[in-house]
Amino acid sequence: MIEPRLLARLERKKDQLDRLRPLPAAAVRRLEEQVTVEWIYNSNAIEGNTLTLKETRLILETGLTIGGRSLREHFEVINHKEAIEYVEALVAGDEPVTPFHVRQIHRLVLARIDDENAGQYRTLPVQIMGTAHRPPEAWQVPALMQDWGDWLTGPAQALHPLERAALAHHRLVSVHPFIDGNGRTARLVMNLLLMRDGYPPTIILRANRGQYYRVLAQADAGNVSPLLNMVGRALERSLALYLAACTPQSGPTDPQDEWILLRTAAEDTPYSQEYLSLLARKGRLEAIKRGRVWYTTRRAVAAYRQSVREQKKETSP
């Protein structure tokens, strides 16, 4: 279900990161500050928060309010930071993640915004705008959340950490256990599970909001592969970020490993820029997205070409 090339890259980069441990404290501190701001900004923006990345950083660093922005939007930033701190505390522990922890995360997400419902399962029916998925009735939520916890501590333990985290996230948003704040809570839980397994937190970018909702809808219909691969590509981005910040440099970057535009990477290959873009979106080609522009490396293109040749050999009579 996870694109094999993507899975192989994730495991290779995870192994590279593990071999660098203990990671340099100063680099990790700077990286965590950057990742936390991006995590909060993007997760809130997916749900409609209008604060910019710069404004989000300003609120976190100074506590100042931004003119023209609602008090709720400010609380969404502060609350998300407190929820991340709680998640980090859980990562350091070893007790199983349960519905109780989900409710505690949600309580922090909705604090001072809706204290009556913060940390409480919904007692009313809900509809998710723009999707055909109909969440279960409110009276079913407690039992379904117990089922979620039993699945997570039982059958889910046999899954790859990426698959377990992504599916736990989808199952949560599918139950829609709370009146509000389900998406933020589910993405926090997803990162809690990934971080427990030694991965860095993954960030679903605001720019990919439409795609994110599409893959969730596909998962609702039973096709979870697009969701797994989207989360996998986001995780690869995080791994690349940590490796770049924590790998000692003994010399200039090999030209084969420099990030270049897809149109440059397509030169002297049988592929067009558009085809490389398709491969990147599907996770078949190692690539990163900066803003709305994809970048890859010559080594990544060569690796993809080699994988194609090997596939042809395996399938030839």
Active site residues: 176
Asked whether 304 and 262 are in contact (CB, 8 A), the reply is no
- Token readout for 103 is 């409710």
Q: Where are the beta strands (DSSP E) in the chain?
A: 260-261, 287-290, 293-296
CB contact set of 288 (below 8 Å; sequence gap of 6+): 236, 237, 240, 259, 294, 295, 296
Asked whether 90 and 103 are in contact (CB, 8 A), the reply is no
The torsion angle over the Cα atoms of residues 103, 108, 111 and 115, rounded to 10 degrees, is 20
Amino acid making up residue 35:
V
Running DSSP on this structure, what letter comes out for residue 267? Answer: T
CB contact set of 57 (below 8 Å; sequence gap of 6+): 37, 41
Alpha carbon of 191 to those of 77, 84, 202, 234, 282: distances in Å? Answer: 17, 9, 6, 11, 22
Asked whether 204 and 241 are in contact (CB, 8 A), the reply is no
Q: Tell me the C-alpha distance between 42 and 65, whole Å.
A: 19
Token pair 């690349």 in the structure block, residue = 240
Bond into 22 cis (ω within 30): yes
Residue 54: how many other CB atoms lie within 10 Å:
11
> For residue 43, which of 100, 13, 87, 10 has the smallest C-alpha distance?
87
